[in-house]
């Protein structure tokens, strides 16, 4: 059974508790937070795996639309508001659904069903098109898509994984972690570095450059990198 991590964001305590009750009684939903303001909700979305947000629009300081504007990765959103005039703008934000208060359980369940279908579809498409690995970071298992990894570096008893938007420390050796990565995408260029070939912007005999970072190439490993790049450029 699919479990969807969700949060509820509404500055009205009464309305928020109604939605929280519906969420807690739904077999497919797992409530990981409820918030009376968008700033706290943004912090939760940025640091946890949130799949679905039940979101009020009119809130003090930052409204629901401003919250979405400030997110790098946007979860599915079901807007719940007393104002029908926001509906068109809500769908400009690719809303999963738009519910007008007062909310009924039947209408709530219809929206959740729609969200589950979209999340399932997105998950299937993502997993088919993009290979991934699971890593254990901060005592949690995280799914990490291979294409997001820029490079891996040795960090004591750990390996440090640098991705497009965040870094992870994983208890592992470079050798064991290297074995989990596709060999047609990653090359060990130094005893302390493995790089994603697709992320290299330029290189010379001493460094591979990824963005503004310079990854050192060891003498006996750089030939491997040059050979690989020659092969894919032919």
**158 Cβ neighbours under 8 A, 6+ residues apart:** 169, 170, 171, 172
The model's pLDDT over 198-212, given as tens digits with 9 standing for 90+, comes to 888 888 888 889 989
Q: Is the pLDDT of residue 107 over 70?
A: yes
In this predicted structure, which of 31-35, 63-67, 70-74, 80-84 has the lowest mean pLDDT? 70-74
Task: Report percent pLDDT > 90 for the chain.
Answer: 53
For residue 146, the model assigns a pLDDT of 87
For residue 232, the model assigns a pLDDT of 46
**24 Cβ neighbours under 8 A, 6+ residues apart:** 31
- Residue 135: beta bridge partners? 142
For residue 121, the model assigns a pLDDT of 75
Q: Where are the domains of the chain?
A: 4-129, 132-233
Of 200, 192, 198, nearest to 221 (Cα)?
Answer: 192
- Residue range 4-129 in CATH 3.30.70.1560: no
In words, the CATH class of domain 132-233 is: mainly beta
Between 107 and 229, where is the model more confident?
Answer: 107
At residue 193, the 3 state secondary structure works out as: strand
pTM of whole model > 0.85? Answer: no
Between 111 and 232, where is the model more confident?
Answer: 111
The model's pLDDT over 90-99, given as tens digits with 9 standing for 90+, comes to 888 889 999 9
């Amino acid at each position: 059974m699919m479990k969807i991590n969700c949060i509820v964001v509404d500055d009205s305590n009464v309305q928020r508790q109604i939605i929280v009750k519906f969420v807690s009684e739904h077999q497919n939903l797992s409530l990981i937070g409820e918030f009376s303001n968008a700033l706290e909700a943004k912090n939760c979305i940025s640091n946890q795996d949130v799949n679905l947000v039940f979101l009020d629009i009119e809130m003090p300081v930052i409204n629901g639309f401003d919250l979405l504007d400030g997110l790098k990765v946007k979860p599915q959103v079901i807007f719940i508001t007393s104002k029908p005039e926001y509906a068109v703008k809500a769908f400009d934000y690719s809303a999963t659904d738009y519910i007008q208060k007062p909310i009924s359980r039947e209408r709530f369940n219809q929206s959740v069903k729609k969200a589950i279908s979209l999340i399932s579809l997105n998950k299937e498409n993502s997993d088919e098109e993009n290979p991934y690995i699971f890593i254990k970071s901060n005592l949690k298992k995280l799914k990490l898509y291979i294409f997001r990894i820029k490079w891996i570096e040795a960090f004591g008893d750990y390996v440090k994984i640098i991705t497009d938007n965040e870094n992870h420390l994983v208890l592992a050796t470079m050798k064991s972690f290297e074995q989990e990565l596709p060999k047609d995408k990653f090359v060990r260029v130094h005893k302390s570095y493995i790089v994603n070939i697709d992320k290299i912007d330029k290189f010379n005999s001493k460094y591979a450059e990824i963005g503004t970072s310079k990854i050192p190439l060891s003498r006996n490993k750089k030939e491997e990198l040059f050979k690989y790049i020659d092969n894919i450029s032919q």
